[in-house]
């Protein structure tokens, strides 16, 4: 290391020092990135991503009825996972990692967001079954977390729209073909993303924060030195 | 809807690939019927609902980047709010440069040997060189939304560098240091710029976590030097790059950003290639008008610098009814467009003279694989694979290009005056996962060349022919490799993994001792997916593909290799000059965004440790990475050993 930079460590040189938390996360829910880009480019704003997802009727493990888009997604930050309650494959990991990520996210920020665990086996996973599953996973009392079920047709359409149906063809709800992907969205900003549910919870939390903007981007300015690691 | 011209209709009919039934709109749109996706279990993406007449729109070329008056960030100041450039500049900028007293005027110097200034001369024996050969080149690229007319009469909002798609073509020379300030004015999306094919410091390499945030800037420092040979001297002769491209590399937004226009070319020459141009072996890439001495301009006034040396980016697009680019945020198979574009224009036409042209073909698609050929059966004369000139020019009738592959070719139009020929793609593909295979009887026309311009005799014809020596090549020997690493590229529950792990920003998946030679074995065990793997920072040499010596063009230097289903590629690679984290990943950008990526960290710090050689643990120097996994309870991964091996030999790894 050259003497010219002796007062900075190599890590700091490369990745920057931790930035002070001066800027709060954006709470401007009227901001819509795709619309802003369209305005800057001088064209009409495109339809939101969520407009391509069916606004179907769903029921939660608390027996609450929702419209999927209008009540749970519109103008919200949302994390979606896909499970069925008797799954012995990826689903337990999905739910466990969502919970771990949820705890990290709640510790870091007060920005509201919605957690959705959507069953791909709506015939077997009644609201009661989902409640038992949520209790078993210790998350039944988290107000922002809904374990939801819908009719088989609605579930199929929903999974098709967000590409979480059986990618290998055949039965859309086939349990051996379902994905273990978490979907992140910020409908206000029209920003969507995802990550494999098998990723470490810290990465699930980080990626959700960056995609859904529950915190300021500047937490991600430093590679390995800022709050991204904490 | 516009009608097809009779000429085009005739062409299409003659080729015999018009099919009737339900394809009317597509046909009128000038897109061959096989381009439509097969209906799949979850429904196909909607076809582009606009018509256009193919082979009428001229190929656009981006202007050369114009140097900007910027003052590079002070490398001794940490990034952050206090720094005028929020994301700072690479620490190598200070280490490589000597500041002249009182001036922010950096003269490049060599970190390895402070008495040797790499910028003084490229001729290491030239003792008379006293002044820097090159001034530092400075550019300022502002990423901003812009409105582009891809299809006639349809306005498409896109991302751009400095308002143009593709971005301005950077012209650099080996040994010429360059600082490109990238400012993100895209509103809400984070970016990171990767100069693909370049040998750059980690800070400037477009590591997916080294972002440029909205409203912020990063100074990308490109020393434009080459890796060092065993004797310590810079390997100008065999390692200098030619065609590079820069594109976005932001973590999990790469595919979206690249498809929306964040890409451009960088054309580099060194004294060897410049001599080939001076001697008339290759077309001059800086052709000047003999009278005005100005660089040649395209009809729209932009400086493209040579009408005979043209970068051609092969892309595919799919548009929505409102003109925006179709983008499915939830589809992670791979983006496949139904409009074939070259440099952003749909199935365009290029009027050429009856002479040799150098075409720098670049597959800038996210998921589409190509096998390109010329419609008259004439071979290409391939000059370079990816970024590096081949040892000699090679005749190639068909060239396979996976996403991110570049093929630098000469096309000889000199005996074709008055004729029209097409650049064709014979690789069929109906889904993002992999191509369906080659069908030589159903070519997809990419663009048309019309040989109708008179020969401009002011510029001499280039003389390159099959076998013409270009750039000497030095084989890396398998015996030089001190470490063998295995990487398995696999799919897991709808996302992609390498060695059964998702990408972690904090985990050094390969901690490499700076200067080491390594053998990497890349495997794709699944038949259902193809993965084009790109390794940053240095070229690699493929020694075996599925156990056999690879084809001619893959034997030399590459920066990406296609892992077809169920294949294994063995390659040799050196890691030199720069240390810090870099990545390697699948260049199907949708797969990359779903974490089919790994960190490799080139480390200067070495400790005594152990490593596994032929299944036995032996004492050996081990690299000490700065990335760490202290936030995780899992033990530090043992680099270079596949998990399956660890699991089956628990005694070795307890």
* Tokens linked to B537: 């920072």
Domain match, B168 and B117 both: yes
pLDDT at B406 over 70: yes
Cβ separation B320–A170 shorter than 8 A: no
Query: In chain B, what residues touch A89 (CB-CB under 8 Å)?
Result: 493
Q: What pLDDT, on the 0 to 100 scale, is given for residue A170?
A: 66
Of A148-157, B290-299, B584-593, where does mean pLDDT reach its minimum?
A: B290-299
| Mean confidence (pLDDT) of chain B | 82
Beta carbons of B423 and B446 less than 8 angstroms apart: yes
pLDDT at B536 over 50: yes
Q: Which of B209, B213, B328 sits opposite A163 (nearest CB)?
A: B328
Report how far residue B199's alpha carbon sits from residue B234's, in angstroms, rounded to the nearest whole number.
12
Query: In chain B, what residues touch A189 (CB-CB under 8 Å)?
Result: 188
pLDDT at A2 over 60: no
Q: What pLDDT, on the 0 to 100 scale, is given for residue A3?
A: 35
Domain match, B613 and B509 both: yes
pLDDT at B318 over 80: yes
Q: What pLDDT, on the 0 to 100 scale, is given for residue B44?
A: 72
Interval B112-140 mean pLDDT: 56
B457 prior amide bond cis, ω within 30: no
pLDDT at B450 over 50: yes
Domain match, B226 and B119 both: yes
Which runs of consecutive H residues, i.e. helices, occur in B371-514?
none
Q: Specify the residue for token string 């579930």.
A: A155
Cβ separation B187–A13 shorter than 8 A: no
Q: What pLDDT, on the 0 to 100 scale, is given for residue B377?
A: 96
Beta carbons of B408 and B396 less than 8 angstroms apart: no
Supply the DSSP symbol for B204. Answer: G
Interval B575-579 mean pLDDT: 85
pLDDT tier for residue B161 given thresholds of 50, 70 and 90:
very high
| Mean confidence (pLDDT) of chain A | 80
Domain match, B118 and B173 both: yes
Our CA-based measurement puts residue A42 at a distance from the nearest CA of chain B, in whole angstroms, of: 7
Interval B554-563 mean pLDDT: 95
Report how far residue B427's alpha carbon sits from residue B32's, in angstroms, rounded to the nearest whole number.
13
Q: Which of residues 175-194 of A touch B (CB under 8 A)?
A: 178-181, 183, 189, 191-194
Q: Name the closest residue on chain A to residue B501, using Cα atoms.
A: A199
Cβ separation A37–B157 shorter than 8 A: yes
Residue B64 lies in a domain: no
Q: Provide the edge-to-edge strand list for the sheet that holds B560-563.
A: B510-513, B597-603, B580-586, B531-535, B560-563
* Tokens linked to A91: 């689903």
Report how far residue B99's alpha carbon sits from residue B273's, in angstroms, rounded to the nearest whole number.
31
Can you give the three-state secondary structure of B265-324, one letter per residue?
EEEEECHHHHHHHHCCCCCCCCCECCCCCCEEECCCCCEEECCCEEEEEEEEECECCCCC
Our CA-based measurement puts residue B581 at a distance from the nearest CA of chain A, in whole angstroms, of: 10
Report how far residue B512's alpha carbon sits from residue B579's, in angstroms, rounded to the nearest whole number.
9
Q: What is the CATH number of the domain that holds B376?
A: 2.60.40.420
pLDDT digit string, tens, across residues A73-118: 999 999 999 999 998 888 999 999 999 999 999 988 888 999 999 9
Q: What pLDDT, on the 0 to 100 scale, is given for residue B175?
A: 79
Q: Who has greater pLDDT, A170 or B128?
A: A170
Interval A198-202 mean pLDDT: 89
Residue B292 lies in a domain: no
The angle formed by the CA atoms of residues B455, B456 and B462, to the nearest 5 degrees, is 85
Q: What pLDDT, on the 0 to 100 scale, is given for residue B634?
A: 27
Which of B147, B207, B216, B495 would you mutate first to test chain A, the one with the most A CBs within 10 A? Answer: B495
pLDDT at B370 over 80: yes
Q: Which of A33, A89, A164 sits opposite B189 (nearest CB)?
A: A33
pLDDT digit string, tens, across residues B61-89: 998 999 999 988 887 777 777 788 988 88
Closest CA to A80 of A164, A168, A173, A183: A183
Query: In chain A, what residues touch B581 (CB-CB under 8 Å)?
Result: 223
**Within 10 A of A151 (CB to CB), how many other CB atoms are there?**
14
Q: Which of B323, B329, B506 sits opposite A192 (nearest CB)?
A: B329
Beta carbons of B501 and B509 less than 8 angstroms apart: yes
Beta carbons of A113 and A214 less than 8 angstroms apart: yes
Q: Who has greater pLDDT, B354 or B127?
A: B354
pLDDT digit string, tens, across residues B327-365: 998 888 899 999 999 999 999 999 999 999 999 999 999
Beta carbons of A84 and A189 less than 8 angstroms apart: no
Pairing verdict, β B427-428 and B380-385: unpaired
Cβ separation B211–A221 shorter than 8 A: yes
* Tokens linked to B57: 């729109």
Q: Name the closest residue on chain B to residue A204, using Cα atoms.
A: B504
Q: Who has greater pLDDT, B280 or B234?
A: B280
A163 touches B at CB < 8 Å = yes
Domain match, B178 and B262 both: yes
Residue B556 lies in a domain: yes
Report how far residue B157's alpha carbon sits from residue B142's, in angstroms, rounded to the nearest whole number.
16
**CATH superfamily, region A51-229:** Glutaredoxin (3.40.30.10)
Q: Which of B91, B147, B187 sits opposite A43 (nearest CB)?
A: B147
Our CA-based measurement puts residue B324 at a distance from the nearest CA of chain A, in whole angstroms, of: 7
Q: Which of A16, A38, A89 sits opposite B79 (nearest CB)?
A: A16
Cβ separation A224–B505 shorter than 8 A: yes
pLDDT digit string, tens, across residues A151-172: 999 999 999 888 887 766 667 7
pLDDT at A227 over 70: no
Pairing verdict, β A77-83 and A114-119: parallel
Classified as helix, coil or strand, A127 is helix
Report how far residue B348's alpha carbon sits from residue B55's, in angstroms, rounded to the nearest whole number.
5
pLDDT at B413 over 80: yes
Closest CA to B79 of A170, A184, A225, A131: A225
Q: What pLDDT, on the 0 to 100 scale, is given for residue B54?
A: 94
Q: Provide the edge-to-edge strand list for the sheet that holds A191-196.
A: A65-67, A57-60, A145-149, A114-119, A77-83, A181-186, A191-196
Report how far residue B223's alpha carbon sits from residue B229's, in angstroms, rounded to the nearest whole number.
17
Interval B105-110 mean pLDDT: 48
**Within 10 A of B41 (CB to CB), how many other CB atoms are there?**
15
Our CA-based measurement puts residue A178 at a distance from the nearest CA of chain B, in whole angstroms, of: 7
A160 touches B at CB < 8 Å = yes
Residue B472 lies in a domain: no
Q: What is the ipTM of this complex?
A: 0.85
Q: Who has greater pLDDT, B605 or B443?
A: B443
Query: In chain A, what residues touch B251 (CB-CB under 8 Å)?
Result: 207, 210
Query: In chain B, what residues touch A180 (CB-CB under 8 Å)?
Result: 492-495
The angle formed by the CA atoms of residues B475, B577 and B593, to the nearest 5 degrees, is 90
Cβ separation B87–A189 shorter than 8 A: no
Q: Specify the residue for token string 């040649």.
A: B296
The count of CB pairs under 8 A between chains A and B is 206
Report how far residue B416's alpha carbon sits from residue B31's, in angstroms, rounded to the nearest whole number.
26
Domain match, B437 and B499 both: no
Domain match, B247 and B319 both: no
Domain match, B349 and B415 both: yes
pLDDT at B126 over 60: no
Interval B230-257 mean pLDDT: 88
Q: Which residues does A23 contact at the CB level (< 8 Å), separation at least 6?
A: A216, A218
Q: Which residues does A158 contact at the CB level (< 8 Å), separation at least 6?
A: A53, A54, A56, A68, A118, A150
pLDDT tier for residue B52 given thresholds of 50, 70 and 90:
very high
Q: Which of residues 106-145 of A touch B (CB under 8 A)?
A: none
Q: Which of A5, A169, A194 sits opposite B40 (nearest CB)?
A: A169
A89 touches B at CB < 8 Å = yes
Our CA-based measurement puts residue B429 at a distance from the nearest CA of chain A, in whole angstroms, of: 17
Our CA-based measurement puts residue A76 at a distance from the nearest CA of chain B, in whole angstroms, of: 17
Q: Which residues does B29 contact at the CB level (< 8 Å), separation at least 6?
A: B1, B47, B48, B50, B51, B52, B339
Residue B499 zone, left/alpha/beta (φ > 0; ψ -120 to 50; rest): left
Counting the structural domains of chain B, the total is 3
Interval B51-60 mean pLDDT: 93
Which of B434, B451, B468 terminates a domain? The answer is B451
Q: Where is mean pLDDT largest: B247-256, B489-498, B618-627?
A: B247-256
* Tokens linked to B207: 């590591």
Q: Is the dihedral of CA B402, B35, B53, B156 positive or negative?
A: negative
Q: What pLDDT, on the 0 to 100 scale, is given for residue B96?
A: 63
pLDDT at B411 over 90: yes
Which of B269, B292, B327 terminates a domain? The answer is B269
Q: What pLDDT, on the 0 to 100 scale, is given for residue B43?
A: 55
**Within 10 A of B292 (CB to CB), how many other CB atoms are there?**
8
Residue B223 lies in a domain: yes
Query: In chain A, what residues touch B324 (CB-CB under 8 Å)?
Result: 38, 43, 46
Q: Who has greater pLDDT, A163 or B131?
A: A163
Q: Which residues does B562 contact at the CB level (< 8 Å), separation at least 6?
A: B369, B400, B402, B405, B530, B531, B532, B533
Beta carbons of B332 and B593 less than 8 angstroms apart: yes
Q: Specify the residue for token string 């076998």.
A: B467
Q: From residue B262, how far is each of B62, B137, B310, B608 by CA, in Å?
A: 13, 21, 19, 44
Beta carbons of B425 and B594 less than 8 angstroms apart: no
Residue B389 lies in a domain: yes
Our CA-based measurement puts residue A2 at a distance from the nearest CA of chain B, in whole angstroms, of: 7
Cβ separation A181–B203 shorter than 8 A: no
Domain match, B251 and B352 both: no
Domain match, B252 and B126 both: yes
Q: Which of B88, B157, B186 sits opposite A38 (nearest CB)?
A: B157
Q: What pLDDT, on the 0 to 100 scale, is given for residue B517?
A: 92
Q: What pLDDT, on the 0 to 100 scale, is given for residue B301?
A: 62
Of A25-34, B234-243, B298-307, where does mean pLDDT reach its minimum?
A: A25-34
Domain match, B505 and B645 both: yes
Query: In chain B, what residues touch A162 (CB-CB under 8 Å)?
Result: 330
Of B133-142, B388-397, B473-482, where does mean pLDDT reach its minimum?
A: B133-142
pLDDT at B447 over 90: yes
Q: What pLDDT, on the 0 to 100 scale, is given for residue B437?
A: 93
Of B95-104, B155-164, B199-208, B306-315, where does mean pLDDT reach its minimum?
A: B95-104
Report how far residue B474's alpha carbon sits from residue B555's, in angstroms, rounded to the nearest whole number.
11
pLDDT at B277 over 80: yes
Supply the DSSP symbol for B591. Answer: H
Closest CA to B530 of B485, B570, B612, B590: B590
Query: Which domain covers residue B566, as residue numbers?
Result: 478-653
pLDDT tier for residue A37 given thresholds of 50, 70 and 90:
confident
Report how far residue B174's alpha carbon sits from residue B170's, in angstroms, rounded to the nearest whole number.
13
pLDDT tier for residue B615 given thresholds of 50, 70 and 90:
low
pLDDT tier for residue B558 given thresholds of 50, 70 and 90:
very high
Q: Which residues does B38 contact at the CB level (< 8 Å), separation at least 6?
A: B44, B430, B431
Domain match, B332 and B261 both: no
Q: Who has greater pLDDT, B531 or B647?
A: B531
Q: Which of residues 6-45 of A touch B (CB under 8 A)?
A: 8, 10-17, 19-20, 22, 31, 33, 36-38, 40-44
Our CA-based measurement puts residue A179 at a distance from the nearest CA of chain B, in whole angstroms, of: 4
Residue B85 lies in a domain: no
Q: Who has greater pLDDT, A195 or B580?
A: A195
**Within 10 A of A146 (CB to CB), how many other CB atoms are there?**
22
Residue A158 zone, left/alpha/beta (φ > 0; ψ -120 to 50; rest): alpha
Which of B39, B40, B41 would you mutate first to test chain A, the one with the most A CBs within 10 A? Answer: B41
Cβ separation A169–B41 shorter than 8 A: yes
pLDDT > 90 in chain B, percent: 52
Q: Which of residues 45-74 of A touch B (CB under 8 A)?
A: 46-47, 49
Residue B112 lies in a domain: yes
């Amino acid at each position: 290391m050259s003497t010219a930079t002796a007062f900075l460590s190599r890590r700091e040189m490369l990745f920057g020092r931790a930035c002070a938390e001066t800027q709060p996360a954006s709470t401007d829910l009227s901001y819509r990135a795709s619309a802003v880009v369209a305005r800057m480019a001088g064209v009409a704003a495109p339809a939101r991503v969520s407009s391509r997802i069916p606004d179907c009727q769903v029921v939660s493990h608390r027996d609450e009825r929702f419209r999927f888009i209008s009540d749970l997604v519109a103008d919200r930050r949302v994390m979606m996972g896909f499970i069925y309650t008797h799954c012995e494959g990826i689903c337990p990991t999905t739910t466990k990692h969502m919970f771990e990520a949820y705890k990290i996210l709640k510790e870091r920020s007060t920005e509201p967001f919605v957690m959705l665990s959507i069953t791909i086996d709506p015939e077997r996973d009644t609201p009661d079954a989902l409640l038992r599953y949520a209790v078993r996973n210790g998350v039944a009392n988290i107000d922002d977390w809904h374990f939801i079920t819908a009719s088989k047709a609605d579930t199929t359409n929903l999974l098709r729209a967000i590409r979480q149906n059986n990618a290998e063809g055949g039965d859309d709800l086939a349990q051996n073909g379902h994905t273990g992907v978490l979907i992140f969205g910020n409908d206000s900003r029209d920003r969507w993303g995802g990550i494999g549910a098998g990723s470490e919870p810290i990465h699930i939390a980080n990626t959700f924060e960056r995609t859904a903007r529950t915190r300021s981007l500047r937490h991600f300015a430093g590679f390995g030195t800022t709050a991204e690691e904490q | 809807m516009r009608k097809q011209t009779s000429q085009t209709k005739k062409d299409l009919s003659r080729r015999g690939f018009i099919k009737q039934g339900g394809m009317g709109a597509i046909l009128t749109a000038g897109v061959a019927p096989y381009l439509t996706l097969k209906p799949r279990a979850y429904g196909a993406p909607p076809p582009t609902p606009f018509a256009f007449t193919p082979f009428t729109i001229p190929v656009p070329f981006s202007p050369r980047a114009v140097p900007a008056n910027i003052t590079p960030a002070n490398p001794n100041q940490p990034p952050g709010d206090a720094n005028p450039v929020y994301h700072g500049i690479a620490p190598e900028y200070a280490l490589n440069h000597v500041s002249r007293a009182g001036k922010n005027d950096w003269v490049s110097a060599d970190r390895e040997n402070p008495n040797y200034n790499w910028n003084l001369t490229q001729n290491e024996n030239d003792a008379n060189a006293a002044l820097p050969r090159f001034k530092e080149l400075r550019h300022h690229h502002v990423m901003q939304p812009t409105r582009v007319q891809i299809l006639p009469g349809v306005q498409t909002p896109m991302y751009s560098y400095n308002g143009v798609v593709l971005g301005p073509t950077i012209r650099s020379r080996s040994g010429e240091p360059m600082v490109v300030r990238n400012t993100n004015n895209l509103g809400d999306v984070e970016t990171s710029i990767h100069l693909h094919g370049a040998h750059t410091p980690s800070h400037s390499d477009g590591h997916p976590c080294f972002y440029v945030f909205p409203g912020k800037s990063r100074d990308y420092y490109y020393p434009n030097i080459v890796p060092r040979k065993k004797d310590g001297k810079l390997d100008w002769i065999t390692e200098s790059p030619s065609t590079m491209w820069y594109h976005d590399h932001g973590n999990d937004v790469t595919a979206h950003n690249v498809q929306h226009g964040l890409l451009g070319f960088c054309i580099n020459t060194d004294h060897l290639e410049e001599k080939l141009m001076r001697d008339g072996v290759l077309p001059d890439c800086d052709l000047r008008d003999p009278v005005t001495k100005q660089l040649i301009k395209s009809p729209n006034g932009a400086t493209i610098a040579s009408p005979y040396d043209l970068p051609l980016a092969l892309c595919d697009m799919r548009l929505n009814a409102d003109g925006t680019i179709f983008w499915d945020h939830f589809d992670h198979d791979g983006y496949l467009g139904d409009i074939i574009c070259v440099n952003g224009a749909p199935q365009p036409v290029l009027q050429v003279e009856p002479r040799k042209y150098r075409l720098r073909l670049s597959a800038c698609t996210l998921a589409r694989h190509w096998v390109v050929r010329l419609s008259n059966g004439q071979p290409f004369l391939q000059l370079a694979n990816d970024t590096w000139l081949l040892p000699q020019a090679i005749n190639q009738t068909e060239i396979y290009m996976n996403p991110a592959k570049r093929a630098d070719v000469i096309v000889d139009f000199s005996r074709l005056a008055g004729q029209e020929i097409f650049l064709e793609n014979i690789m069929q593909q109906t889904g993002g996962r992999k191509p369906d295979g080659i069908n030589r009887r159903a070519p997809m026309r990419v663009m048309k060349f019309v040989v109708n311009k008179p020969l401009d005799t002011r510029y001499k014809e280039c003389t390159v022919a099959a076998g013409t020596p270009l750039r000497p090549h030095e084989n890396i020997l398998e015996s030089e490799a001190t470490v063998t690493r295995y990487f398995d590229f696999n799919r897991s529950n709808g996302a992609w993994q390498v060695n059964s792990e998702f990408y972690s920003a904090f985990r050094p998946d390969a901690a490499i001792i700076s200067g080491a030679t390594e053998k990497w074995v890349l495997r794709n065990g699944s038949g259902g997916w193809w993965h084009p793997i790109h390794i940053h920072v240095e070229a690699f040499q493929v020694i075996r593909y599925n156990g056999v010596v690879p084809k001619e063009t893959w034997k030399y230097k590459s920066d990406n290799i296609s892992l077809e289903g169920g294949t294994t590629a063995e390659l040799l690679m050196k890691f030199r000059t720069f240390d810090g984290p870099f990545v390697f990943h699948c260049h199907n950008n949708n797969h990359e965004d779903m974490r089919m990526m790994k960190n490799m960290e080139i480390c200067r710090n070495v400790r005594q440790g152990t490593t596994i050689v032929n299944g036995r643990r032996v004492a050996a120097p081990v690299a000490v990475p700065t990335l760490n996994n202290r936030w995780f309870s899992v033990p530090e991964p043992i680099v270079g050993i596949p998990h399956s091996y660890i699991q089956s030999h628990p005694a070795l790894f307890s």
